[in-house]
Structure 1
Amino acid sequence: MTTFKKYQGYIVYGGITLLFLLLILIATFGTAPYSGTAFELGSFSVQWYAVFILSGIISASVLAYLELTRYHQDPNILWDGLLVFVPSAVIGARLWYVLFNLDKYNGDILRMLDVTEGGLAIHGAIIVVVLGLILFAKKKKIDYFFVLDMVGPGFLIGQIFGRWGNFMNRELYGPVIDNLNWLPPFIRDNMNIGGAFRHPTFLYESSWNLLGLILILVFRRKKQVKIGDIISFYLVWYGIGRIPTEILRMNSGVPEPLMMFNIPTSIATSVGLIIAGLAIYLYRTLKVKNRIAYNDYGRKAVLFDLDGTLLDTIDLIYKNITATFKVHFPNKKLTDEELKAFVGPTLDESFGWYEKDNKKLQAMIKTYREINEVNHKVKVESFENALTVLKTLKEHDYLIGIVSSKIHKFVKLGLEQNDLMQYVDVIIGSDESPKHKPDPLPINMALERLNVSPSNAAYVGDHPNDILAAKAANVKSIGVGYSVHYEALLGAKPDVVVDNLEKLLYIF
């Protein structure tokens, strides 16, 4: 099994290649010109174009499944996507064709919907899928550009296969060429159309897409390839390759069926794809700070708040607050609700409710930290199963981070006292981030240091600010049921609530 996993990529690539060659061999068995019909069942016939396209979809799906499992994603995402986007892509391709051929149908809706008479434009399929995946990825909580990076190679595979369906139909060819002696007879003879050899533009485009696919498969494991780069490459590569083949087809003597402002639609759309690919690449390179390498997408992380989540420090906090108020507000007796409010926010925020003078505020914080350092020397306890959970998560290759409203020094001290520090990969304390929960910045900082995508991360906390920060950072939000802010926590609508840390192991 281990050997199979090691070589499964090569096995899949080899299987797809074998299927592709086998289809060509079967389809071209006999003498050219070849029939566009693969087989007939009574009055029902199946065209080779459909066989090639369907085989391309199946091959692309197998490749996508391999990627999803490689990066520990739910493979049901693929099956749900196929159910939605295969018919959507066909509809999009048909609508794109019809949109620029309205005169041909004279308002006949049934003919517009009838794909059996031909007329599909791949650009329409690309546009529908790319736009539709925005909502799909959001619903499935998977990175949109990671999905597009899987779809890009799938499009190439579909186009590699599909162009051989055009070959069987003897369509989409170029102008007359003196000879095709450089090609094997089965291609050369089928390109003899109307008594003259024609440029095999199907072969040019299929070969160009095959080269693009090989480049993606070779380079996408490199650290330099970030999420979003593959779809950018695909859009530019396909657009560049499509333009010269379309120019050849325009000189074939067959009218260009799709026109946009007297410009061939396929060329105009190809230019649009090139611009879109460059725009995506430049935007993500210049504007997106935490650009995850495509090959690192499988990295997973669970981030934790500290006080009230991993460590049972509530009594310690109450003790420290009470002692601090005895120094700075000796006549103020805090109620239980007022004490509870100190659990979660930073000291600047919570002390700021009582002291508006910044100099006096900083003096209060200094007093608190001095008292806390003394009291902290008496070991604070972790919540039940905290050690087991962090150890188990680590054994299952999860990265672990702490994002706390406490300063780094005391976060580390509490973790070390409970033997938890050995499992923690990153700490973001309140002294390391200029903004604090519910702002997502501290969580984003942790993810950036861990090189983990938000869609592969979760944040566990006991305060509503923890949940709001997690949602703003687009990570899974998990609340703990033993929170002293339980009602307010539920009001923030976490994705999941666990009554014991051990329950996390049923989620991850």
Structure 2
Amino acid sequence: MNKIKENKNLVAYISMAIGFLLLILIATRGSAPYESVAFEFGDFSVQWYAVFILFGIVFAAILGFLELERYGQDPNIIWDGLLIFVPLSILGARLWYVLFNLDKYNGNIGRMLNVGEGGLAIHGAIAVVFVGLIWFTKFKKVDYFFVLDIVGPGFLIGQAMGRWGNFMNRELYGPVLENPNWLPPFIKENLFFSGKYHHPTFLYESSWNILGLILILVFRRKKFVKLGDILAFYLVWYGVGRIPNEILRMASGVKEPLMLFNIPVSIATSVALILAGILVFIIRRLTNKNIISYDDYGKKAVLFDLDGTLLDTIDLIYKNIKETFKIHFPNKKLSDEELRSFVGPTLDVSFGWYEKDPEKITKMIDTYRNINEKNHHDGVDSYNNAELVLKTLKERNYKIGVVSSKINKFVRLGLEQNGLISYIDIIIGSDDSPVHKPDPLPLQMALEKLSVKASNAAYVGDHPNDIFAAQNANMMSIGVSYSIHYKELLGAKPDQVIDDLEKLLYIFN
């Protein structure tokens, strides 16, 4: 399935590259200098700059759509985002330009908002998107940095194509170029002013952004690229590339339209972007030691409790407990309610109800495990459809784990006896974690080893501690109605309750 998606992405990349080249070919047909107007309808005209920007938005949207689809997210998020952020970005770019040219408008609000008059600054659009996505990602319930990692390449596409719109307008060029012969004739001739050829700064910046895009597409599937790194790379890459181009452009004699305390705003903002990218990279690593790889974002997992959930070990547990008490408490007769209470907690907790001496508790645990190993070899059964469910979930690319209050050795034994072990990616037993359910740590350990976010995972169990552990780990909680703790299980308020494991296949389809 992933191979098909990768091939689909490759076809899309090649198609967009061909489309970009065709657009340049169409725009530069004829001889230079080229018309800045792409086409007209009566008095209404569309500039080539707008056409390049529009295609840049479309290509960026396609790239984002494919990436969201690849990670199992709702790809329609991209269309909702475009409806909201395209007009807001235009407004932000306009207001950013106006902010540093207030004296030009003399307080005329109409002129300030008149985009047709000319004057947009890309940094304003970037700022609007970064701030607006804080709200948008919370509303859509997706990770803020994941979305920004998708938006970053889209910005590079838009900026790379937008620069060709500047070329058609014969703007954003550099100082005189003494030896222009290395340039293609159609570029060279369109940058011929007052008897001199000029540096194609539009080409430098467009090429720089395309190179950055290629690097992202190549490296974002690598495990060393963490969530948020693509954003950080974009900020630094774009800022580094923009500064020398701005210096060259100003060396052409063109007046910088945006100034702040006699400092070009484009350069100051680019420096700020570089610093922001470095800070994002450093701070995220300092504050989040378990930050997942970007490529792991879409991974999903279903974790299971073992006893009473996957395996019907209730009778085995009762038998083990009774034999253990015959040795350590021969005069103690356990009631059905007391026996039931042993299903769920760890042995040190449940034996601690009857014995306070730690050494004696340890001896009871050793006795229980010896008895369990002997009795376990008689075999235990899995619940209905357990193998079908695990097999199907694996086929649907879910990671599968077992988090149990039983030690790892016996978890593995029970799974092997039922032919389930081959479907399991991770086992966390009571001897693998320093604390136990309802503490979320065992579940978090499993997710960390699987490289799966809690929001992409669920835990299935039969005990209220299972539900509490899932809730504490910010995971989806699912209870089974065949639990011997059913009433208490409902009291823990699981997100879902199923009466057969097969129902999971309707939840995780």
Give the structure-2-normalised TM-score: 0.86
Is this contact kept in 2: 1:322–1:334, CA < 8 A?
Answer: no
Supply the AA of the counterpart residue of 2:16: I
Is this contact kept in 1: 2:5–2:70, CA < 8 A?
Answer: no
Residue 162 of structure 1 and its aligned partner are, at CA, apart by 0.9
Q: Does 1:381 align with 2:384?
A: no
Residue 150 of structure 1 and its aligned partner are, at CA, apart by 2.4
Is this contact kept in 2: 1:141–1:455, CA < 8 A?
Answer: no
Supply the AA of the counterpart residue of 1:312: D
**Residue in 2 that maps onto 1:244:** 244
**Residue in 1 that maps onto 2:184:** 184
Residue 290 of structure 1 and its aligned partner are, at CA, apart by 4.1
**Residue in 2 that maps onto 1:22:** 22
**Percent same amino acid at aligned positions?**
70
Q: Matches of residues 389-404 of structure 1 in structure 2 within 5 Å?
A: 389-404=389-404
Greater CA drift, 44-53 or 2-11: 2-11
Q: Structure 1 residues 391, 111: CA separation in 2 closer, same or farther (over 3 Å shift)?
A: same
Distance, in Å, in 2 between the alignment partners of 1:464 and 1:269 is 53
Q: Matches of residues 412-431 of structure 1 in structure 2 within 5 Å?
A: 412-431=412-431
Distance, in Å, in 1 between the alignment partners of 2:335 and 2:120 is 73
Q: Structure 1 residues 477, 106: CA separation in 2 closer, same or farther (over 3 Å shift)?
A: farther
Q: Matches of residues 497-508 of structure 1 in structure 2 within 5 Å?
A: 497-508=497-508
**Residue in 2 that maps onto 1:346:** 346
**Residue in 1 that maps onto 2:362:** 362
- In the TM superposition, what whole-angstrom CA distance separates every residue of 1:43-95 from its partner, at most 9, and x where no partner exists? 33322222111101111222223333444444233333333433343343334
Distance, in Å, in 2 between the alignment partners of 1:91 and 1:368 is 71
Gaps spanning 5+ residues in structure 1: where? Answer: none
Residue 136 of structure 1 and its aligned partner are, at CA, apart by 4.2
Is this contact kept in 2: 1:143–1:453, CA < 8 A?
Answer: no
Q: Structure 1 residues 482, 4: CA separation in 2 closer, same or farther (over 3 Å shift)?
A: closer
Residue 396 of structure 1 and its aligned partner are, at CA, apart by 3.0
- In the TM superposition, what whole-angstrom CA distance separates every residue of 1:135-155 from its partner, at most 9, and x where no partner exists? 544554544444333222211
SS across alignment from 2:382: coil
**Residue in 2 that maps onto 1:478:** 478
Distance, in Å, in 2 between the alignment partners of 1:2 and 1:308 is 35
SS across alignment from 2:312: coil
SS across alignment from 2:381: coil
Residue 5 of structure 1 and its aligned partner are, at CA, apart by 6.1
Supply the AA of the counterpart residue of 2:28: T
Alpha-carbon RMSD across the aligned residues, in angstroms, is 3.4
**Residue in 2 that maps onto 1:165:** 165
Q: Structure 1 residues 3, 295: CA separation in 2 closer, same or farther (over 3 Å shift)?
A: closer
SS across alignment from 1:446: helix
Q: Structure 1 residues 165, 469: CA separation in 2 closer, same or farther (over 3 Å shift)?
A: farther
SS across alignment from 2:459: strand
Q: Structure 1 residues 36, 438: CA separation in 2 closer, same or farther (over 3 Å shift)?
A: farther
Greater CA drift, 392-401 or 463-472: 463-472
Residue 356 of structure 1 and its aligned partner are, at CA, apart by 4.8
- In the TM superposition, what whole-angstrom CA distance separates every residue of 1:449-503 from its partner, at most 9, and x where no partner exists? 3344445433222334434433444544333344445565456554444332111
**Residue in 2 that maps onto 1:463:** 463
Give the structure-1-normalised TM-score: 0.86
Gaps spanning 5+ residues in structure 2: where? Answer: none
Q: Does 1:94 align with 2:94?
A: yes
Is this contact kept in 1: 2:65–2:76, CA < 8 A?
Answer: no
| Aligned residue pair count | 507
Q: Structure 1 residues 478, 139: CA separation in 2 closer, same or farther (over 3 Å shift)?
A: farther
Q: Does 1:231 align with 2:231?
A: yes
**Residue in 2 that maps onto 1:217:** 217
Q: Structure 1 residues 112, 324: CA separation in 2 closer, same or farther (over 3 Å shift)?
A: farther
Distance, in Å, in 2 between the alignment partners of 1:464 and 1:194 is 81
Q: Matches of residues 189-204 of structure 1 in structure 2 within 5 Å?
A: 189-193=189-193, 196-204=196-204
SS across alignment from 2:212: helix
Distance, in Å, in 2 between the alignment partners of 1:202 and 1:313 is 70
Q: Does 1:39 align with 2:44?
A: no
Is this contact kept in 1: 2:242–2:267, CA < 8 A?
Answer: yes
Is this contact kept in 1: 2:312–2:382, CA < 8 A?
Answer: yes
Is this contact kept in 2: 1:385–1:501, CA < 8 A?
Answer: yes
Q: Structure 1 residues 115, 490: CA separation in 2 closer, same or farther (over 3 Å shift)?
A: farther
Is this contact kept in 2: 1:313–1:380, CA < 8 A?
Answer: yes
Distance, in Å, in 1 between the alignment partners of 2:98 and 2:464 is 52
Distance, in Å, in 1 between the alignment partners of 2:238 and 2:413 is 55
Q: Structure 1 residues 413, 101: CA separation in 2 closer, same or farther (over 3 Å shift)?
A: same
Supply the AA of the counterpart residue of 2:448: E
Residue 367 of structure 1 and its aligned partner are, at CA, apart by 4.5
Supply the AA of the counterpart residue of 1:249: R
Is this contact kept in 2: 1:172–1:202, CA < 8 A?
Answer: yes
Is this contact kept in 1: 2:447–2:454, CA < 8 A?
Answer: yes
Supply the AA of the counterpart residue of 1:404: S
Distance, in Å, in 2 between the alignment partners of 1:495 and 1:84 is 32
Distance, in Å, in 2 between the alignment partners of 1:431 and 1:478 is 24
Distance, in Å, in 2 between the alignment partners of 1:428 and 1:481 is 24
**Residue in 1 that maps onto 2:312:** 312
Distance, in Å, in 1 between the alignment partners of 2:3 and 2:312 is 46
Distance, in Å, in 1 between the alignment partners of 2:222 and 2:115 is 41
Q: Does 1:438 align with 2:438?
A: yes
Residue 271 of structure 1 and its aligned partner are, at CA, apart by 1.8
Supply the AA of the counterpart residue of 2:302: V
